[in-house]
Amino acid sequence: MNEHFATATAAIPALFAELHVSPPFPAKGVAAHLGRAGVYVFFEDTVPVHVGRTRNLQGRLRGHTAKSHYSASFAFKRARGLLERTATYTAEGSRLALSKERASR
């Protein structure tokens, strides 16, 4: 195994533990993080349901929480999972198709 990779992977448990106990990110404080890179986790109760990394924390968090089905990727992934749909790259499995199906239930 590559030494650099081995060192990086060995650090993951400690880094995740540090992330897990860090204070929640306040939605109102997003502007203070303009242009900052970071790793973020969305929790449901105490269970991590999504982990991401970004070069622009403010923009990425805004994208996850936007009201449009075209940009709210976290909401789309959660809805797709709840509806037991797999990822597709066709019109049938698109965000628009999913949003129409969700509305009809």
**For the chain, where are the alpha helices, taking DSSP H only?**
3-10, 12-21, 57-65, 73-82, 95-104
- How confident is the prediction along the chain (105 residues), in pLDDT tens digits per residue? 789 999 989 998 998 888 778 877 665 556 666 778 888 888 888 888 888 888 888 788 777 776 665 667 777 777 777 777 777 777 777 777 777 765 444
The amino acid sitting at 15 is: L
* pLDDT at res. 98: 72
For 6, 99, 103, the CA distances from 43, given in Å and listed in that order, are 28, 23, 25
In whole angstroms, give the CA distance from residue 29 to residue 50.
Answer: 20
pLDDT in tens, 49-71: 888 888 888 788 777 776 665 66
Give the domain range for residue 19: 3-104
Q: How many folded domains does the chain comprise?
A: 1
* pLDDT at res. 20: 78
In sequence order, the 6+-apart residues with CB closer than 8 A to the CB of 104 are: none
The pair of three-digit structure tokens given for residue 18, joined into one six-digit string: 């540090």
* pLDDT at res. 58: 78
